[in-house]
C-alpha cells in the first residue's frame, strides 16, 4: 500500500483482513479517509489502539462514522435533493451504504410507520446493529440540523425503546443524516 503513515497502513491492513474487503473496497475506504474520520472521535490512547487492533465496536459512538461519505450515490449535493429521492438513492445502493455505515448494521426497512394515538410518523431507514444488539434509526434531512430534527429523532428512539425493542436489546440509536450539524461553518 502507498500509505506513508505506519499507523494508518496498519489500520487498513487489519480492517481489510477482518472485513474481507476486496481491492476496490479497500481503495474506497482509503480514498474516503476512513482512518482519519475515525480518529476525529478518538483520544490519543484510542488512536494507538485503533492502529494496533483495528476498529472495535463496544458502544454506539464506536459504530458511527463521521462524516459519512456517500459519493457512491452519484447524486447532486444532498441539499439539492428531496429526502425521498435521497432515500431512494440509498436503497438502490444499499450494499455500498451498509459498507459506509460499517460493520454490524443489518437493514430492517424503510418508511417504518410509528403510530401515536391517531398520529402517524415514518422513520426513514431502520437497521439493527448485530454487535451492539440494538436498533439504529436513520432520519434523512436535506437541510442543516435543527432542534426540531433532534426532537423528532428522540420521539422515534423513545417509540422503538417502548414498543419495538426486546428486553435483551440495548437502547435504540438515532442518527440524523443532514447537510450540516449544529456548530459547523461553511468553508
**Residue ranges of the domains in the chain?**
1-56, 60-187
Q: Which CATH architecture has domain 60-187?
A: 3-Layer(aba) Sandwich (3.40)
Q: Which residues of the chain have pLDDT under 50?
A: 185-187
Quote the cell numbers at residue 3. Answer: 500509505
Tens digit of each residue's pLDDT (9 = 90 or more) over 170-186? 999 999 988 876 655 44
Distance in angstroms (rounded) separating the CA atoms of residues 163 and 155: 12
For 91-152, give the DSSP string.
Answer: HHTHHHHHHHH-TTEEEEEEEEEEEETTEEEEEEEEEEETTTTEEEEEEE-SS---HHHHHH
Residue 106 burial (10 A CB sphere; 0-12, 13-18, 19+): exposed
Tens digit of each residue's pLDDT (9 = 90 or more) over 10-22? 888 888 887 777 8
Which pLDDT belongs to residue 168? 96
Which pLDDT belongs to residue 185? 46
125 forms beta bridges with 110, 138
Distance in angstroms (rounded) separating the CA atoms of residues 162 and 148: 21
What is the pTM for the complete model shown?
A: 0.55
Which pLDDT belongs to residue 186? 46
Which pLDDT belongs to residue 8? 83
Closest CA to 69 of 33, 103, 95: 33
Amino acid at each position: 500500500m502507498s500509505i506513508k503513515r505506519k499507523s494508518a497502513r496498519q489500520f487498513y491492513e487489519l480492517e481489510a483482513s477482518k472485513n474481507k474487503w476486496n481491492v476496490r473496497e479497500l481503495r474506497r475506504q482509503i480514498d474516503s479517509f476512513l482512518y482519519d474520520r475515525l480518529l476525529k472521535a478518538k483520544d490519543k490512547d484510542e488512536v494507538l489502539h485503533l492502529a494496533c487492533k483495528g476498529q472495535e465496536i463496544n458502544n454506539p459512538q464506536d459504530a458511527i462514522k463521521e462524516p459519512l461519505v456517500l459519493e457512491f450515490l452519484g447524486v447532486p449535493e444532498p441539499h439539492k435533493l428531496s429526502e425521498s429521492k435521497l432515500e431512494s438513492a440509498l436503497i438502490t445502493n444499499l450494499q455500498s451504504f451498509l459498507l459506509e455505515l460499517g460493520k454490524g448494521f443489518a437493514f430492517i426497512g424503510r418508511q417504518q410507520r410509528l403510530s401515536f394515538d391517531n398520529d402517524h410518523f415514518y422513520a426513514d431507514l431502520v437497521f439493527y446493529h448485530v454487535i451492539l444488539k440494538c436498533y439504529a434509526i436513520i432520519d434523512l434531512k436535506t437541510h442543516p440540523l435543527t432542534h426540531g430534527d433532534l426532537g423528532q429523532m428522540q420521539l422515534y428512539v423513545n417509540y422503538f425503546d417502548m414498543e419495538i425493542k426486546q428486553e435483551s436489546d440495548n437502547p435504540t440509536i438515532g442518527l440524523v443524516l443532514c447537510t450540516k450539524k449544529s456548530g459547523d461553518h461553511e468553508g
